[in-house]
Structure 1
Amino acid sequence: MTTVRPTPSRPTPSEASPGPAPAPTFAVISGAQVQQALQGREKEIVEVVEATYRLHGAGDTVNPPSSFLRFPDRPSSRIIALPASVGGETRVDGVKWISSFPPNVSAGIPRASAVLILNDHDTGYPFACLESSIISATRTAASAASAADRLSRGRPRPTRVGFFGTGLIARYIHTFLEGTGWSFDEIGVHDLSAESAAGFRLYLEQSRTAGRVTVHHSAEELIRSSDLVVFATVAAQPHVHEVSWFGHHPVVVHVSLRDLAPQILLTATNIVDDIDHCLRAATSPHLTEQLTGNRTFLDGTLDDVMAGRVAVPADRTAVFSPFGLGVLDLAVGKYVYDEVIRSGELQVVDGFFHELRRYG
């Protein structure tokens, strides 16, 4: 591989001088480089994610439905393709290819793994492959932190947070909450795996978080004692059914999408990232639509909330259910790519594209 030092942005074909176009290049960006580019920049990444939501709301993105690859012999596992295109200043196309294999956890490796391919806006040539489990977790956490902030405005700022599900995504969400200025008096933890709950508690204690950490042994206990509830599980179907547990009207960040029964959503203010995307694949909002036969229980998108088109009342539970948009992965991935170029550490695969002459 060849290390590419910082250079000015490539000219578009319309800007380029007459003559042969430069040969396209292809770079590989490792997880270590991705982490280095993103670490400690939570506020910047939330700004990137919110700007992308605005572009999406304005129609300056393309985000077709995700494609699910499922396996009859491994029903709990799946691999998902998320193709997308982002306009604005980002101007990049691409696809995230992310797998979810829950049995990995018992084998001691993370459940999810992913790569992200970035394609040039003008030529369509792929120009980078990035390790993307970190990008995926980062854009999810940034989206969650943004929603927690936006949905909490107009009510007392939550001081008690509860994490239902204690894997990598929960860790990233906690990091993004703290990195964007949140502090909590109490942090609740609940997981069906006592080992996972204990591990997350140890992480919280080692991160020197100011709040008192409590491991709750029931879902009801966690929810009732939290003003902000984060669902980050691998649940395949709703398992939380009791409306009375939400009588104190918390803000709920429902990133795992399938935890809440329809009766919970029907008593809440429901905000999603994209209505059409969220109402598919047996998500809790999708099941609610099937039950009611309509979409009137949805109040709008996070972009609507940011723009002031939708208000979030304090006297109702507020639920954010993000399906997870490929445009967010692209925007964060392009941010990483640009940071790696600036660092002078971009690793280009020599001769990756070989057949570049039309007639040989």
Structure 2
Amino acid sequence: MPFAPPDSFLVVRGTEIAELIDGNRDACVEAVRDAYLTHARGDSSLPHSAFLRLPGRERERVIALPAYLGGRFDVSGVKWIASWPENVRHGLARASAVLVLNDTGTGFPYACLESSVISATRTAASAVLGAQELIGARHAERAGFIGTGLIADHIRRFLLELGWKIGGFRLFDVDEKAAGRFARSLRESDMPDVEVAGDAREVFDSCDLVVLATVAGTPHLDDPAILRHAPTVLHVSLRDLDPSVIAVAQNVTDDVDHVMRERTSLHLTEQRLGHRGFVDGTLADVMEGRLARDPGRAAVFSPFGLGVLDLAVGKWVYDRTIERGGGSPVHGFFPVA
């Protein structure tokens, strides 16, 4: 029987995706876990992300993340995500994205999913999974958030839905109103001991779990003493910590080659030290027992955000959408050969 293009091309809206994810964040974490382990086994293809910047506008960028993920997923595709920081001043989201899924038998794309929700979900799932593996439990005496925007809110939702036991929260954002809104959302969820801190140092000093979810383009935390009490740090925004801070930590990432790019804190540390020996291993190493947490040092998880994670969550969303008869099929999208 000759191969033929798919009968339709499925478009899945962000509202549909958000409804699927809400109440199923444990399944998203498991999809991300499986993606990391599948990637670690070599059953993936992950070219470097391509960064498109406009002349003279370095803060704005569009990133293409192509990937193939095998195992139970067997899917290829690409996320195309734009970051326009000035959007927030006009009441628009900073990030916008789509995820295109391709059939691995014919190469035809068969779905386009709104992906700002998927991207934020896989980022939060990765961070919370990293915290769980490095702490060894879903528990923190006090959690701190430096940066209280969209990604921080998604991480908050994962912590709550997955039943984390957290004794208190400390929050800091250069936008005091954003920190105040985040504090209200925590209090409305009956979270205890919620306070807005005066600066980032105060958050570090009072918390054993710290989430860095800023929009910083260059390191702004340069005192290694902030890690003296050996906290677990989720360095989601990747560019907050000076190399002098990175150098004293137990550093865990998701893919060493990928994270050593685009002037991340780990990339800057490699440039300063001239080697990569300060990276202890990957999250897959931790999950599979090849790397143990050093209780005497802070553990800093710096996930680059791999395209295979978008595919894992995107494929999960697509499969659930098909089961529910959702999405918007576009019939006749492809010409008949």
Q: TM-score range by the shorter chain?
A: over 0.9
Q: Which amino acid aligns with 2:167?
A: D
Q: Report the Cα offset of residue 75 of structure 1.
A: 2.1
Distance 1:116 1:162 in 2: 31
2:26 is the counterpart of 1:48: no
Instruction: Report what 1:165 is aligned to.
Output: 147
2:216–2:239 Cα contact (<8 Å) kept? yes
Instruction: Report what 1:345 is aligned to.
Output: 326
Distance 1:71 1:271 in 2: 32
Structure 2: state its 5+ residue gaps. none
- SS across alignment from 1:116: strand
Instruction: Report what 1:275 is aligned to.
Output: 256
Instruction: Report what 1:182 is aligned to.
Output: 164
- SS across alignment from 1:79: strand
Q: How does 1:202-351 map to 2 (within 5 A)?
A: 202-206=184-188, 208-351=189-332
- SS across alignment from 1:77: strand
> Residue by residue, what CA displacement relative to the aligned partner does 1:114-170 show, whole Å, maximum 9, x if unpaired?
00000001100000000000000000000001000001129x942200000010000
> Residue by residue, what CA displacement relative to the aligned partner does 1:164-185 show, whole Å, maximum 9, x if unpaired?
0010000001111122221211
Distance 1:298 1:284 in 2: 12
Distance 1:327 1:272 in 2: 15
Aligned counterpart for 2:174 among listed residues 177, 192, 196:
192
- SS across alignment from 1:332: helix
Count of residue correspondences: 337
Instruction: Tell me which structure has the larger Cα radius of gyration.
Output: 1
> Residue by residue, what CA displacement relative to the aligned partner does 1:84-142 show, whole Å, maximum 9, x if unpaired?
00111211100000011111111112111100000001100000000000000000000
Structure 1: state its 5+ residue gaps. 1-17
1:270–1:297 Cα contact (<8 Å) kept? yes
2:74 is the counterpart of 1:96: no
Distance 1:46 1:199 in 2: 26
Distance 1:37 1:149 in 2: 23
Distance 1:202 1:23 in 2: 47
The alignment's TM-score, normalised by the length of structure 1, stands at 0.91
Q: Report the Cα offset of residue 216 of structure 1.
A: 0.4
2:46 is the counterpart of 1:63: yes
Specify whether residues 245 and 20 from structure 1 end up closer, same or farther in structure 2 by C-alpha distance, changes over 3 A only: closer
Please give the root-mean-square deviation of Cα atoms over the aligned residues, in Å: 1.4
Q: Report the Cα offset of residue 20 of structure 1.
A: 6.0
Q: Report the Cα offset of residue 315 of structure 1.
A: 1.2
The alignment's TM-score, normalised by the length of structure 2, stands at 0.97
